[in-house]
């Protein structure tokens, strides 16, 4: 009987124990992991967001890196979507579906080391421009004769790098909250080398106004004659700016004319 009572007391003590959370080790990070995730279960959305409306898979960048992509829509004009540092394909996917509904083909991808695209060792980890180039190639392989670029934050600076290439097939660039520079990419120098039509967008108070300042700097530096700068009140950064219906309509209209 004493043994039974002792076991009951021990069980109750274990169930009721809360203790100091620090005694259980560090809390798991709330930061989104950029490492490849597990293969989704049968019937689940690929990458957690891509359903039957999209085709998906992996591309090979010019240096052999494996790059995840998803595409939706059937338009002869494709918009290739380059994500920001705290995102991946899924951050762009709601807008990708809107593009498809508006007559475009949309191609989103994960930069190396983000989402489902494996990390690469340094210095290959820096060659995110090759990932964008692979996504452009996929858009053309799917049947789109015309390619436009849309980049958010670091993706915007990478889009500027592609726009500055003399033989780029891209015809115009949408830049959302692009920084003036990103690692090895000098956005200001790249803007001076590109004459592609470009639309710069940033929120006035994003990071204390830094990204609005960067947008103005890039706008002034751009060699394009067809260029536009839109600074909005608010603090949103990158792709979430397109959750505003008014800006979304402005952007869709701009893409249709380019």
From the list 153, 227, 147, 216, the residue with the least C-alpha distance to 188 is 216
Each domain of the chain, given as residue ranges in start order, spans: 55-256
CA distances from 21 to 17, 144, 219 (A): 11, 54, 49
The pLDDT score that the predictor gives to residue 164 is 98
d(C-alpha 17, C-alpha 35), whole Å: 34
Both tokens of 20, joined, read 């100091």
Question: Which string of b and e fits 113-133 if b means at least 16 CB within 10 Å?
Answer: bbbbbeebeeeeeebbbbbbb
Phi/psi at 79 (nearest 5 deg)? -110, 115
**Pairing mode, strands 185-186 and 181-182:** antiparallel
Return the higher-pLDDT residue of 6 and 183.
183
From the list 87, 140, 80, the residue with the least C-alpha distance to 116 is 87
Give pLDDT tens digits for 194-215: 999 999 999 999 999 999 999 9
Give the predicted TM-score (pTM) of the model. 0.84
Choose from 22-31, 44-53, 85-94 the range with maximum mean pLDDT.
Answer: 85-94
Which residue stretches of 43-186 are H helix? 89-101, 128-141, 154-163
236: pLDDT strictly greater than 60 = yes
d(C-alpha 244, C-alpha 169), whole Å: 30
Return the CATH number of 55-256, one of 3.50.50.100, 3.40.50.10210, 3.30.1360.120, 3.40.50.1820.
3.40.50.1820
Average pLDDT of the residues in 99-127:
98
Contact between residue 237 and residue 205 where contact means Cβ atoms under 8 Å apart: no
Q: Which residues contact 33 (CB under 8 A, 6 or more apart)?
A: none
Q: Which residues contact 50 (CB under 8 A, 6 or more apart)?
A: 56, 70, 72, 89, 90, 93
In this structure, the dihedral spanned by the alpha carbons of residues 203, 81, 79 and 178, taken in order and rounded to 10 degrees, is 40
As a whole-number percent, the residues of the chain with pLDDT over 90 amount to 83
Give pLDDT tens digits for 145-161: 999 999 999 999 999 99
143: pLDDT strictly greater than 70 = yes
d(C-alpha 235, C-alpha 18), whole Å: 39
The pLDDT score that the predictor gives to residue 44 is 80
From the list 88, 86, 91, 89, the residue with the least C-alpha distance to 71 is 89
Cis omega (within 30 of 0) on the bond before 123? Answer: yes
The pLDDT score that the predictor gives to residue 43 is 59
* Reduced DSSP (H G I as helix, E B as strand, rest coil) percent helix, strand, coil of the chain, to 5: 40, 20, 40
Return the higher-pLDDT residue of 8 and 235.
235
How high is the mean pLDDT of the chain?
87
């Amino acid at each position: 009987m004493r043994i039974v009572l002792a076991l009951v007391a021990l069980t109750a003590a274990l169930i009721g124990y809360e203790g100091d959370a620090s005694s259980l080790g560090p809390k798991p990070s709330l930061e989104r992991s950029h490492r490849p995730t597990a293969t989704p279960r049968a019937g689940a959305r690929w990458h957690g967001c891509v359903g039957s409306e999209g085709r998906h898979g992996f591309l090979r960048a010019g240096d052999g890196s494996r790059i995840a992509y998803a595409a939706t829509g059937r338009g002869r004009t494709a918009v290739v979507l380059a994500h920001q540092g705290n995102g991946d394909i899924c951050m762009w996917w709601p807008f990708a579906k809107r593009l498809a509904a508006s007559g475009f083909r949309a191609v989103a991808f994960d930069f190396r080391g983000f989402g489902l695209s494996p990390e690469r060792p340094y210095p290959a980890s820096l060659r995110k421009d090759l990932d964008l180039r692979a996504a452009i190639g996929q858009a053309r392989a799917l049947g789109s004769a015309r390619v436009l670029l849309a980049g958010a934050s670091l993706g915007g600076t990478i889009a500027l790098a592609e726009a500055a290439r003399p033989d780029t097939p891209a015809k115009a660039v949408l830049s959302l909250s692009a920084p003036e520079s990103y690692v090895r990419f000098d956005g200001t120098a790249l803007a001076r080398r590109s004459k592609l039509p470009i639309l710069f967008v940033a929120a006035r108070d994003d990071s204390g106004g830094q990204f609005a300042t960067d947008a103005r700097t890039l706008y002034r530096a751009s060699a394009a004659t067809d260029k536009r700068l839109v600074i909005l009140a608010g603090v949103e950064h990158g792709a979430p700016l397109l959750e505003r219906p008014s800006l979304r309509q402005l952007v869709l209209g701009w893409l249709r004319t380019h």
